[in-house]
Amino acid sequence: METAVFIVSALIVLAGGLGVVSSRNPVHAALSLIATLFGIAVLFLNLGAELLAVVQVIVYTGAIVVLILFVMMLLGVDREEDLDTEPLVGQRLLAGLVGLLFLGAMLAIIIIGKDAIVTGSRSVTGALSPTVSNITQIGTELFTTYVFALEVTAGLLTIAVVGAVVLSRRPRDLEPIPEPESMTDMGDEPLTAIPEEGAH
Amino acid sequence: MNMLGGDPLLSGHIDLAVVLIVILKVVCVFAFLLVATMLMIWFERKVVSDFQNRVGPNTAGPFGILQTLADGIKFFFKEDLIPDRAERRVFILAPLLTVVPAFLLFTIVPFGGDFSNGHDGSVEIFGKTTYLQLADPAIGILFALAMSSIAVYGVMLAGWSSGSKYPLIGSVRASAQMVSYEAALGLSVCAVVLTTGTLSTHGIVMAQAGSGWGGFIPHWNLIATGFVPFVVFLLASQAELNRPPFDLVEAEQELVGSYHTEYSSIRFALFFVAEFMNSVTMAAIIVTLFLGGPAGPALLGPGWLWGVIWFLLKMTGFLFLFVWVRSTVPRVRYDQLMDLGWKVLIPLSLGWILLLATFWVARDQHWNGFITVAIGAVVGLTGYGLLKAAIATSKARRLEGVVD
């Protein structure tokens, strides 16, 4: 049963991955990415890591790809791409070579190493327990062993958000072309607030 | 099979009876959802027409109750149009992507069972003990969040693939709105999880069962989390469902019919059904999270039946509330919608979670309750003041024309 689920979802993951690189249309590529991420969520479920599976769906499928699609629709870059000409000459050949090299290396390790490469430990951060659910375990580990890393990540994300806001705030005088006055510039203030400024 | 959670049905040996019970439950939930959606569409049309002094559907069946069925049959036999400029594959896929999450969302809702007098809501079918809910995974309510975040795709891709202007604008609006309100939705679910200490929906209902404070005030999360998460969840769920007063997505005066403008026949019907099915499911989830789901006193007869009755009563109450709001509150403006989401609901629920967490830590550590609450309130008010000042400053600078 576990093997059957693995094979099906692995096929979905691979097909999705192929779709991402070979689709002419960026939106189709994004859709293939969703298939890949879903397949990975199913793989997580198959391993009994249900929290990871749901987080995978909520964060990657439900937020990140939505944002990617959103930006594509907003910017109107959803045109068909020309896949025949290579932007960088020799890029594809090189990518193929590196891919083959990786495959060869992995096969070599598996063939030479035999059983020795599999450590046999299913979990490195905390012992698996049949009674405590892995949600509790992940929570406990995050807020005890890895609390420093967690806090640093939180800080990093805050810095990223603040940075994004600062970058997107354009001071008016630095703008080379004056933007047309639009409704949105006024916010939700009543329009009568504007003439007062000129009156002084 | 620990993966599928706490349902005692799946913890023992899995034989044919167990498989049959699961199949039976799937069929029951499927049928219930379809019938409930059908009735909800009729109910909404009937109540809205009552509000507007009209008669509403009254021809098909008693009180026009079969109107939805008649509409559905009509949709099936209509010509299926695909616009010339549409992206064929995605155009066909989009309605399905809307309907599937709508169905899946209901799987985790406990819809019956005896929770009175310390019972744990399990029932006996064919000699097997089980819960009256399709699945009780350990991740429980997170699954609902996952499904509601996937529901964006149907809307988004429908608008994009139509190859037409208004559907695209509608779908961009929809996705922006749904993504923004998901945060508030998740944060108010957080408050419930914090209070009950479990993600499993069955566990959440269990925590709210029992006679409660003073013997008559029910032990509902509505009170235990202090009303604020409930209000936030209710507002955010309306925005998430794209229902009035947050139906900017389908503002007919501006956008014709939003993302499903180009859809016809059964594909349109799928969007329509998904929308109402989501309303039904969202009401069910609100009942589960805040009003104790099927928990309630069993008066006479079998206890599990009373669970179903309480659940349906509470759910119908919320559905009426949805329709009531729809027919009385005017649509908000788009910037008001975004301001409400980002500047009110998200900070409010974040602050409330901090307060709740402080409260629980204080109880665990036996701190002085009064001082803890006082300090919490001061910190909360300071945060509110800072936020207010920041918003005021940005508004002033925008008016001065310093920044965009």
Enumerate residues 231 to 250 of chain B having a beta carbon within 8 A of any beta carbon in chain A.
none
In sequence order, the 6+-apart residues with CB closer than 8 A to the CB of A165 are none
Query: Which of A5, A58, A189 would you mutate first to test chain B, the one with the most B CBs within 10 A?
Result: A58
CB B243, CB B326: distance < 8 Å: yes
How close A200 gets to chain B, by Cα (Å)?
13
CB B282, CB B106: distance < 8 Å: no
A66 contacts B398? CB cut-off 8 A? no
Q: Which of the listed residues A35, A64, A79 is the one where a domain comes to its end?
A: A79
Please count the helices (runs of H) and the strands (runs of E) in chain B. 14, 2
What is the per-residue DSSP string for B364-386?
Answer: HHT--HHHHHHHHHHHHHHHHHH
Instruction: Quote the DSSP letter at residue B123.
Output: E
Contacts of B392 in chain A (CB under 8 A): none
Burial degree of A191 (CB within 10 A; 0-12, 13-18, 19+): exposed
Both structure tokens of B240: 């998430």
Contacts of A194 in chain B (CB under 8 A): 399
> Does residue A187 carry a pLDDT above 60?
no
A34 touches chain B (CB under 8 A): yes
The whole-number average pLDDT for the span A33-43 is 91
Half-sphere exposure of A97 (CA within 13 A, CB side): 5
Backbone φ/ψ region at B61: left (φ over 0), alpha (ψ -120 to 50), beta = left
Nearest beta carbon to residue A73 from set B149, B172, B339: B172
Q: Which residue has the tokens 């529901």?
A: B151
Tell me what pLDDT residue B300 has. 74
Q: Which of the listed residues A79, A97, A116 is the one where a domain comes to its end?
A: A79
Q: Is residue A145, in this structure, part of any structural domain at all? A: yes
What is the per-residue DSSP string for B263-302?
Answer: --HHHHHHHHHHHHHHHHHHHHHHHHHHS-TT-S---SS-
Nearest beta carbon to residue A135 from set B172, B199, B335: B199
Contacts of A55 in chain B (CB under 8 A): 142
Residue A176 pLDDT class (50, 70, 90 cuts)? low
How close A31 gets to chain B, by Cα (Å)?
9
Q: Is residue A96, in this structure, part of any structural domain at all? A: no
Domain that holds residue A164: 133-171
How close A48 gets to chain B, by Cα (Å)?
6
Half-sphere exposure of A138 (CA within 13 A, CB side): 9
Long-range CB pairs of B33-36, under 8 A, 24+ apart, other chains included:
B33/B103, B33/B106, B33/B277, B33/B280, B33/B281, B36/B277, B36/B280
Contacts of B157 in chain A (CB under 8 A): 27, 31, 69
Q: What is the rounded average pLDDT for all residues in chain A? A: 79
Q: Is residue A57, in this structure, part of any structural domain at all? A: yes
Measure the N-to-C terminal CA separation of chain B; round to a whole number of Å. Answer: 56
How close A164 gets to chain B, by Cα (Å)?
15
Contacts of A169 in chain B (CB under 8 A): 403-404
Residue A182 pLDDT class (50, 70, 90 cuts)? low
Residue type at A101?
L
Q: Is residue A4, in this structure, part of any structural domain at all? A: yes
Q: What are the residue ranges spanned by the domains of chain B?
A: 8-334
Query: Which of A1, A132, A133, A173 would you mutate first to test chain B, the one with the most B CBs within 10 A?
Result: A133
A54 contacts B153? CB cut-off 8 A? no
Q: Is residue A166, in this structure, part of any structural domain at all? A: yes
SS3 B171: helix
Nearest beta carbon to residue A172 from set B175, B179, B401: B401
A2 touches chain B (CB under 8 A): no
Q: Is residue A154, in this structure, part of any structural domain at all? A: yes
Q: Is residue A70, in this structure, part of any structural domain at all? A: yes
Q: Which of the listed residues A11, A44, A79 is the one where a domain comes to its end?
A: A79
Nearest beta carbon to residue A63 from set B149, B172, B403: B149
> Does residue A98 carry a pLDDT above 90?
yes
Contacts of A25 in chain B (CB under 8 A): 87
Mean pLDDT by 10 residues, chain B (404 residues): 58 77 88 90 90 85 84 86 82 88 88 75 74 81 87 85 82 82 88 87 83 73 84 90 80 73 84 88 90 79 80 90 89 85 88 86 83 86 89 82 62
Tell me what pLDDT residue A198 has. 45
Both structure tokens of B215: 């013997």
Query: Which of B11, B19, B88, B153 would you mutate first to test chain A, the one with the most A CBs within 10 A?
Result: B153
Distance of CA A45 to the CA centre of its chain: 19
> Does residue A36 carry a pLDDT above 90?
yes
Q: What is the CATH number for A3?
A: 1.20.120.1200
A185 touches chain B (CB under 8 A): yes
A98 touches chain B (CB under 8 A): no
Q: What is the ipTM of this complex?
A: 0.80
As a whole number of angstroms, the distance between CA B27 and CA B17 comes to: 15
Burial degree of B294 (CB within 10 A; 0-12, 13-18, 19+): buried
Number of domains present in the structure of chain A: 2
SS3 A80: coil
Both structure tokens of A187: 């916010």
Residue A199 pLDDT class (50, 70, 90 cuts)? very low
A54 contacts B139? CB cut-off 8 A? yes
CB B116, CB B303: distance < 8 Å: yes
- A137 and A65 within one domain: no
As a whole number of angstroms, the distance between CA B229 and CA B353 comes to: 9
CB B41, CB B276: distance < 8 Å: yes
Nearest beta carbon to residue B403 from set A134, A171, A188: A171
Residue B130: strand pairing partners: B123
